[in-house]
Chain A
Amino acid sequence: MRWAWIYVEGLRLTLKRLAQYRVDALSMILGDLGYRVIRLLVVGLLFAVTPQLGQWGPWEITLMWATAMLAESVGNLLFVFPTVIDRYFHEGDLDYVRVRPAPIVLWANTVATQPRYVSLVVVMLSVAIVSAANTGILGSAGQMGLLAVALLSTGLVFIGMRLMLFCLAAWFTRSRVLSHGIAAFTDHSRYPIDVMDQPLRGVLTAIPLAFTVFYPAAFALRPDEYLMPGILGLPVAAIMMAGGLVMLRFAFRKYQSVGTPEMWGAS
Chain B
Amino acid sequence: MHAVTLPIAVGWSYVKVSLARRIGFFMSLAITLLTTWILVGLWAAIRQNSVEAQAEFTATELATYIVVAQVVSLARMSHANRQFFYQALRHVHTGEIAMDLVRPIDNQVLRYSQWLGVFAVDALMVAVPTWLIFRLTGIVGDPHSGVQAGLFAVSVALGWLVAAGFHYLLAALTLVITQTPGVNLLRVALQEVLGGGFIPLALMPGWLATAAVVFPFHAMVSSPTLIYIGHLQGLDALAALGIQAAWGVGLIVSGRLLWMQLVRRVLVQGG
Q: Contacting B186 at CB < 8 Å: which of A30, A51, A180, A196?
A: A30
Contact A50 B46 (CB under 8 A): yes
Contact B31 A49 (CB under 8 A): no
Give the one of B45, B87, B177, B199 with max A CB within 10 A: B45
Residues of B within 8 A of A265 (CB): 86, 89-90, 93
Counting CB contacts under 8 A, is A145 at the interface?
A: no
A 1-39 to B, binary, CB cutoff 8 A, 1 in contact else 0: 000000000000000000001011101111110110011
Q: Contacting B23 at CB < 8 Å: which of A28, A174, A195?
A: A174
Contact A28 B39 (CB under 8 A): no
A97-105, A126-134, A183-191, A231-239: which one contacts chain B?
A: A183-191
Q: Which chain B residue lies CB-closest to A180? A: B77
Counting CB contacts under 8 A, is A46 at the interface?
A: yes
Give the one of A23, A51, A265 with max B CB within 10 A: A265
Q: A188-B38, A267-B86 are in contact. Are A53 and B45 (CB under 8 A)?
A: yes
Q: A42-B199, A174-B21 are in contact. Are A28 and B41 (CB under 8 A)?
A: no
Q: A49-B199, A265-B90 are in contact. Are A182 and B31 (CB under 8 A)?
A: yes
Counting CB contacts under 8 A, is A54 at the interface?
A: yes
Give the one of A177, A189, A191 with max B CB within 10 A: A177
Contact B82 A180 (CB under 8 A): yes
Residues of B within 8 A of A35 (CB): 185-186, 188-189
**How far apart are the CA atoms of A31 and B190 in the complex, in Å?**
11
Q: Closest CB-CB distance, B195 to chain A, in whole Å?
A: 12
Counting CB contacts under 8 A, is A266 at the interface?
A: yes
**Quick one: which of B18-34 are within 8 Å of A by CB?**
21, 23-24, 27-28, 30-31, 34
Contact A45 B42 (CB under 8 A): no
Counting CB contacts under 8 A, is B254 at the interface?
A: no
Residues of A within 8 A of B76 (CB): 184
Residues of A within 8 A of B77 (CB): 180-181, 183-184
**How far apart are the CA atoms of A45 and B50 in the complex, in Å?**
13
Counting CB contacts under 8 A, is A263 at the interface?
A: yes
Contact A196 B38 (CB under 8 A): yes
**How far apart are the CA atoms of A266 and B83 in the complex, in Å?**
7
Counting CB contacts under 8 A, is B258 at the interface?
A: no
Contact B189 A34 (CB under 8 A): yes
Q: Which chain A residue lies CB-closest to B185? A: A35
Counting CB contacts under 8 A, is B5 at the interface?
A: no
**How far apart are the CA atoms of A174 and B30 in the complex, in Å?**
16
**Quick one: which of A182-212 are within 8 Å of B by CB?**
182-185, 188-189, 191, 195-197, 200, 203
**Quick one: which of A38-88 are within 8 Å of B by CB?**
38-39, 41-42, 45-46, 48-54
**How far apart are the CA atoms of A95 and B208 in the complex, in Å?**
51
Q: Closest CB-CB distance, B30 to chain A, in whole Å?
A: 7
B 34-69 to A, binary, CB cutoff 8 A, 1 in contact else 0: 110111011001110110110000000000000000
Number of interface residues of B (CB under 8 A): 52
Contact B179 A50 (CB under 8 A): no
**How far apart are the CA atoms of A85 and B37 in the complex, in Å?**
31
Counting CB contacts under 8 A, is B107 at the interface?
A: no
Q: Closest CB-CB distance, A6 to chain B, in whole Å?
A: 26
Residues of B within 8 A of A38 (CB): 186, 189-190, 193
Counting CB contacts under 8 A, is B124 at the interface?
A: no
**How far apart are the CA atoms of A263 and B47 in the complex, in Å?**
46
Q: Closest CB-CB distance, A193 to chain B, in whole Å?
A: 9
Counting CB contacts under 8 A, is A246 at the interface?
A: no
Contact A267 B45 (CB under 8 A): no
**How far apart are the CA atoms of A191 and B37 in the complex, in Å?**
13
Contact A31 B181 (CB under 8 A): yes
Residues of A within 8 A of B199 (CB): 42, 45-46, 49
Counting CB contacts under 8 A, is A116 at the interface?
A: yes
B 149-165 to A, binary, CB cutoff 8 A, 1 in contact else 0: 00000000000000000
Contact A21 B179 (CB under 8 A): yes
Counting CB contacts under 8 A, is A122 at the interface?
A: no
Contact B23 A177 (CB under 8 A): yes
Q: Which chain B residue lies CB-closest to A265? A: B90
Q: Which chain A residue lies CB-closest to B205? A: A48
Chain A to chain B contacts (Cβ below 8 Å), 17 pairs: A21-B178, A27-B183, A28-B179, A30-B182, A31-B181, A31-B183, A35-B185, A39-B189, A45-B193, A49-B53, A49-B199, A50-B46, A50-B50, A185-B31, A188-B38, A200-B37, A266-B87
Q: B interface vs A, CB < 8 Å? A: 21, 23-24, 27-28, 30-31, 34-35, 37-39, 41-42, 45-47, 49-50, 52-53, 76-79, 82-83, 86-87, 89-90, 93, 177-186, 188-190, 193, 198-199, 203-205, 208
10 further A-B pairs in the complex, CB-CB below 8 A; given A30-B182, A46-B46, A50-B50:
A23-B177, A30-B186, A31-B184, A35-B188, A42-B199, A48-B204, A49-B46, A50-B49, A51-B49, A184-B76
Please list the 7 inter-chain residue pairs (A to B) with the smallest Cβ-Cβ separation, ordered nearest first.
Answer: A31-B182, A184-B77, A195-B45, A196-B41, A24-B179, A28-B182, A181-B31
